[in-house]
Chains A and B, each alone.
Chain A
Amino acid sequence: MVTDELDHQLSIINALKLEAQLQAVQRYESRLQEIEEIRRQIELVHQGKLSLVQIDTSKARVDQRIEREHAPRHIAEERINGTNNFQDAFIIDKLAHLKNAVCRLTLNGRGLGTGFMVAEGIIITNHHVIPDEATAQRMEVEFGYEFDSNKILKKADKFSLHPQLFFCTSSIAPVAGDATSGLDFTLVAVDPSANLSRYTVAPLDGTLGKIVMGELCITIQHPAGEPKKVVLKNISLLKLTETHLIYESDTLPGSLGSMVVGLGTGEIIALHHAGVPKRNAEGRPVTKSGAVAYPGTPDEQIAWEGNEGVRVSCIINAIEQMALPKAMEPFRQKVLRRTNDRRQIRQEAGKMVTESVNAAGNHKTEKQNVNMERTAINKSDGLQANELTSFIILVKNKPESIQQVNAFLTARYGRPIKIQLLTPATAIDGADELFEFVASPKISLSDEAAELTRFTYIQAAEADVPLALNTYIEKREGGAGTESVYESGVKDKVWEDEFASWNEEAFQKEWAEAEFVKGRKAHEFRRWNHDAARFDKLTDEDFSFLKENPVFIAQLDTGFTNHFKVVGGFDQDLDVDLIDNDADAPDELQGGVLKFPGHGTRTGSILIGKQPLFDLSDSATQHDGNYGLISKAGSRIIPFRIAETVLLLNRQKELAKAVDRAIASGVQVMTMSMGTASTITTARLAKKTYDAGVIWCCAAGNEVKFVVAPAVFPGTIAVAAHNPDNGPWPKSSVGDAVDITAPGQDVYVPIFAKGPNGTRLDDFAYGSGTSYATPHVAAAAALWLAKYKTELLDVKGWQRVEAFRTAITQTARQHDKLPKRGYGAGILNVDALLNSKKGRPTPEMIAGLKYAYDGWNEHHFIASLQGWTELFKSYWNLAHGGLRRLFGMEAMESAAATATLSDFSKTQETLLFGGGSLLESDAALSPDEAISRLQVLNNLILQNAKA
Chain B
Amino acid sequence: MAHFDFHFHLLFKHAISGDTDANEHTDVNQNIDVKGFADLLDSAFGGPFESQASPQMVLQSPLKFGLIAILSVEHAFVKRMMRIPGFRLEKALPLDPKMVQQIKNSEVSYHELFQKQVTFTRDTIQTHGKDWDMLLLNRSKDREEPGVWEAIRKRANANMQDAIKQQQNYKGSRWFALSIEGGHNLSEVPIRNQQGLIHQTPEETLKKLQDREDVDFMAINLSHLSRIPEMQLSGFAQGLNMSAQKAFKSPDFHPATECGLTFLGKKLVRQALTHTAKPILIDVKHMSLYSRLQYYRYRAKLAEEHQQVAKLPVISSHTGFTFTTYSNFIGNQQYLPQVDTDGEGLPVTTIAAQERKIGKTDDHNNEDLFGNPWTINLFDEEIEEIFNTNGMIGISLDQRVLGTRKMFLDGKRKSHYEPEHLAREEYTKLFENGQVPGAEAVLLEGLQRVVPLPRERHSMLLALHLVHAVRVGLNAGIAGPADVDDPSPWDYLCIGSDFDGLINPINSVKNITQIDRLKGELMRYLPQADKTLPFYEHEKALRYDRNGTVDRKYLESVIDKVLSINGIRLLMRFNNNWGI
Contact = CB atoms under 8 A, between A and B. Distances in A.
Contacts of B194: 428, 430-431
B346 A688 contact: no
Given A583-B435, A691-B195, A424 B345 contact: yes
A438 to B, nearest CB: 11
Interface stretch (B147-155, B196-204, B306-314, B518-526): B196-204
Given A664-B257, A665-B263, A427 B347 contact: no
A665 B342 contact: no
Nearest to B435: A583
Contacts of A668: 200
B347 A424 contact: yes
B433 A583 contact: yes
A591 B80 CA distance: 54
B257 A428 contact: no
Contacts of B197: 691-693, 796-797
A175 interface: no
B534 interface: no
A576 B298 CA distance: 17
Contact of B257 (A424, A581, A694): A424
Interface stretch (A398-406, A562-570, A717-725, A887-895): A398-406
Nearest to B340: A418
B29 interface: no
B196 A666 contact: no
Interface in B409-440: 425, 428-429, 433, 435, 437-438
Interface string A389-425: 0000001010100110010000000000011110011
A804 interface: no
A435 B345 contact: yes
A688 B196 contact: yes
Given A418-B342, A430-B194, A666 B256 contact: no
Given A581-B429, A691-B197, A692-B196, A427 B229 contact: yes
- Interface size range on B against A: 35 or more
Contact of A406 (B262, B267, B343, B425): B343
A427 B340 CA distance: 18
Given A425-B229, A427-B345, A691 B201 contact: no
B340 A425 contact: no
A665 B229 contact: no
A420 B198 contact: no
Given A399-B344, A688-B196, A425 B263 contact: no
A552 B263 contact: yes
Given A402-B345, A425-B232, A693 B200 contact: yes
Contacts of A666: 198, 200, 232, 262-265, 267
Contact of B345 (A397, A663, A693, A800): A397
A14 interface: no
A419 B347 CA distance: 10
A618 interface: no
A667 interface: yes
A693 B232 CA distance: 15
Contact of A402 (B264, B297, B344): B344
A581 to B, nearest CB: 6
Interface residues of A, number: 47
Interface string B198-214: 11110010000000000
A692 B198 contact: yes
Contacts of A418: 340-343, 345
A420 B347 contact: yes
Contacts of B262: 664-666
B222 interface: no
A402 B343 contact: yes
Contacts of A475: none
A173 interface: no
B294 to A, nearest CB: 8
A793 interface: yes
Contact of B201 (A428, A789, A798): A789
A752 to B, nearest CB: 28
Interface string A567-600: 0000001101000010100000000000000000
B347 A667 contact: no
A426 interface: yes
A664 B232 contact: yes
A634 B412 CA distance: 58
A520 B342 CA distance: 63
B345 A421 contact: yes
A4 interface: no
Nearest to B428: A581
Interface string B330-348: 0000000000111111110
B229 A426 contact: yes
A88 interface: no
A844 interface: no
A429 interface: yes
B63 interface: no
B571 interface: no
A303 B264 CA distance: 78
Contact of B343 (A403, A425, A661): A403
Interface string A900-923: 000000000000000000000000
B259 interface: yes
B263 to A, nearest CB: 4
B445 interface: no
A425 B189 contact: no
Nearest to B190: A796
B491 interface: no
Interface string B225-267: 0000100100000000000000000000000111100111101
A376 to B, nearest CB: 33
Contacts of B264: 665-666
B196 A428 contact: yes
A50 B34 CA distance: 64
B192 interface: yes
Given A420-B347, A424-B347, A793-B204, A573 B342 contact: no
Interface string A663-706: 11111100000000000000000001001111000000000000
Interface string B426-463: 00110001010110000000000000000000000000
Contacts of A427: 229, 345
A432 to B, nearest CB: 11
A402 B435 CA distance: 33
A663 B298 CA distance: 21
A425 B289 CA distance: 19
Nearest to B268: A666
Which has the most chain A C-beta neighbours within 10 Å: B341, B342, B344?
Answer: B344
A665 B343 contact: no
B135 to A, nearest CB: 33
A420 B341 contact: yes
Interface string B342-378: 1111110000000000000000000000000000000
16 contacts: A399-B343, A421-B347, A430-B194, A435-B345, A573-B438, A574-B263, A581-B429, A583-B429, A583-B433, A660-B257, A663-B198, A664-B262, A789-B204, A796-B189, A796-B197, A797-B195
Q: Which 7 A-B pairs have the closest CB atoms?
A: A666-B264, A665-B262, A425-B257, A666-B263, A424-B257, A552-B263, A421-B345
Interface of B: 189, 192, 194-201, 204, 229, 232, 256-259, 262-265, 267, 297-298, 340-347, 425, 428-429, 433, 435, 437-438
Given A418-B342, A793-B201, 7 more contacts: A418-B345, A420-B346, A421-B346, A581-B429, A583-B435, A664-B258, A693-B197
Interface of A: 395, 397, 399, 402-403, 406, 418-421, 424-431, 433, 435, 550, 552, 573-574, 576, 581, 583, 638, 660-661, 663-668, 688, 691-694, 789, 793, 796-798, 800
